[in-house]
Amino acid sequence: MIDQTFPQRVFSGIKPSGGLTLGNYLGAIKRWVEMQEDPGYETVYCVVDMHAVTVWQDPADLTRATREVAAAMIASGIDPEKSILFNQCRVPAHAELGWLLSCVARVGWMNRMTQFKDKAGKNTEKVSLGLYAYPALMAADILAYHATHVPVGEDQKQHVELTRDIASKFNHDYGVEFFPMTEPVIEGPAMRVMNLRDGSKKMSKSGDSDMERINMLDDADAIAKKFKKARSDAEELPSEVAGLKDRPEAKNLVDIYAGLTERDTADVLAEFGGAGWGKFKPALADLAVEKLAPVSDEMRRLLDAPDELDAIMARGAERAAGVAEPILARTFEIMGFVR
Ligand code: AQP
């Protein structure tokens, strides 16, 4: 039995767990803007504040970071008229569906989530229960909108696959075709931007040192300094992509250049092959400043008007609830709840 037809709907979110990085920009936000402009999709973008508190957040920092993420989205081209833009805690359907889906998800599935292992490290007994369970909330974020596509960086692929497993088990257990099989959209040369000091780790908002990441609000001097000090290697740039094999730091810097210029890595190497880091790093820094400065200027302007940002998120939340509440209500009904 087909229980629902699915329009092409995009959902994605960012945690306000610190200042946004170039990884969030290239791996997520840039793609979101492209999908917003595609008339084939309805786009829903969320500041996933309830995910942020899976690790300790100082309340004032959470407030500031929530507005910063919204400002970054708008400054990068997310138009709150074209897309639904809101913060998660304003739409209770996320938490309610999150609970229902955590009763569908299996503990064994959660045990396989690599991000939990990375974040908890050896400390699995002391981290919050929320950090362990959050992939079920993420599944609810996506499925509350019957989202068909989720543009994410490569680090989130496993969570979208888990969402499909949860949707499939729900549909099977209740004998319905209610939740869609959501597709991750992971494209472009910079789908996994790496830490500037260690090419084996991804660039994160909450990494230990500020020198390992480019923040979207960094000024030109900070960007130049961070790329200058970024780890590279003793060799010059190769002319072909194969020459980046086993050179993670070199590959990362070239991929960032490609992501910022929307070219592919081979094309960048055709231009810079044979050049040394003394030439490439300043060119990369200049490019990053050129691309990020207009976005960060607009972010600062928006952050000076927090009431306006809050009003935009509140309006977006009303529209979001209009989509999510009927889907949640039908989920309760399918499961046999008396409401
Ligand atoms: N380094 C990255 N490269 C490419 N994409 C990335 N994303 C994050 N880092 C990179 C993408 O940004 C979106 C939002 O991610 P998030 O901030 O909600 O969660 P995260 O992936 O856990 O990000 P961080 O920066 O690592 O946060 P902290 O340090 O607080 O845990 C996602 O689409 C993600 O793929």
Same domain, 115 and 255: no
Q: Count of domains in the chain?
A: 2
CATH code: domain of residue 180? 3.40.50.620
User: Residue 203 falls within a domain, yes or no?
Assistant: no
Question: In terms of residue numbers, what domain contains 58?
Answer: 9-191+305-335
User: Residue 4 falls within a domain, yes or no?
Assistant: no
Among this protein's residues, is 119 annotated catalytic? yes
pLDDT tens for 62-95 read 999 999 999 999 999 999 999 999 999 999 999 9
Q: How far apart are the first and last CA of the chain?
A: 24
User: Residue 197 falls within a domain, yes or no?
Assistant: no
The owner of tokens 């009303």 is 318
Among this protein's residues, is 205 annotated catalytic? yes
Same domain, 296 and 316: no
Same domain, 227 and 246: yes
Cβ atoms of 33 and 77 closer than 8 Å: yes
Catalytic residue among 15, 30, 119, 281: 119
* Residues contacting residue 113 through CB under 8 Å, at least 6 positions apart: 135, 158, 159, 162
Query: pLDDT (tens digit, 0 to 9) for every residue of the chain, 339 residues total?
Result: 445 666 799 999 999 999 899 999 998 999 999 999 999 999 999 999 999 999 999 999 999 999 999 999 999 999 999 999 999 999 999 999 999 999 999 999 999 999 898 888 888 899 999 999 999 999 999 999 999 999 988 889 999 999 999 999 999 999 999 999 999 998 877 688 999 999 999 999 988 899 999 999 999 999 999 999 999 999 999 999 999 999 999 999 999 999 999 999 999 999 999 999 999 999 999 999 999 999 999 999 999 999 999 999 999 999 999 999 999 999 999 999 999
Half-sphere exposure of 91 (CA within 13 A, CB side): 37
* Residues contacting residue 65 through CB under 8 Å, at least 6 positions apart: 16, 17, 18, 19, 52, 57
Task: Determine the longest span between alpha carbons in the chain, in angstroms.
Answer: 69
Ligand 1: which atom is nearest the Cα of residue 24? 12
**Residue from 113, 155, 212 to probe ligand 1 pocket by mutation (most atoms less than 8 Å from CB):** 155
Query: The tokens of 312 are what?
Result: 């935009």
Same domain, 222 and 310: no
Same domain, 227 and 151: no
User: Residue 102 falls within a domain, yes or no?
Assistant: yes
Same domain, 294 and 251: yes
Tell me the β-bridge partners of 215: 21
Tell me the CA distances in angstroms from 240 to 82, 88, 103, 186, 266, one per residue in order: 40, 44, 49, 23, 6
User: Residue 118 falls within a domain, yes or no?
Assistant: yes
Same domain, 187 and 311: yes
User: Residue 329 falls within a domain, yes or no?
Assistant: yes
User: Residue 94 falls within a domain, yes or no?
Assistant: yes
Q: In what order do the strands lie in the sheet with 84-87?
A: 84-87, 42-47, 9-14, 149-151, 183-185
User: Residue 3 falls within a domain, yes or no?
Assistant: no
- What number of other Cβ atoms are within 10 A of residue 165's Cβ? 16
Distance, in Å, from the CA atom of 235 to the CA atom of 198, rounded to the nearest integer, reads 17
Ligand 1: which atom is nearest the Cα of residue 51? 18
CATH code: domain of residue 263? 1.10.240.10
Catalytic residue among 30, 157, 169, 205: 205
Same domain, 267 and 130: no
Cβ atoms of 309 and 315 closer than 8 Å: no
Same domain, 241 and 176: no
Same domain, 161 and 217: no
Phi/psi for 83 (5° steps) reads -110, 155
Among this protein's residues, is 226 annotated catalytic? no
Same domain, 138 and 23: yes
Tell me the CA distances in angstroms from 291 to 26, 149, 262, 271, 288, one per residue in order: 11, 27, 11, 19, 5
Same domain, 49 and 99: yes
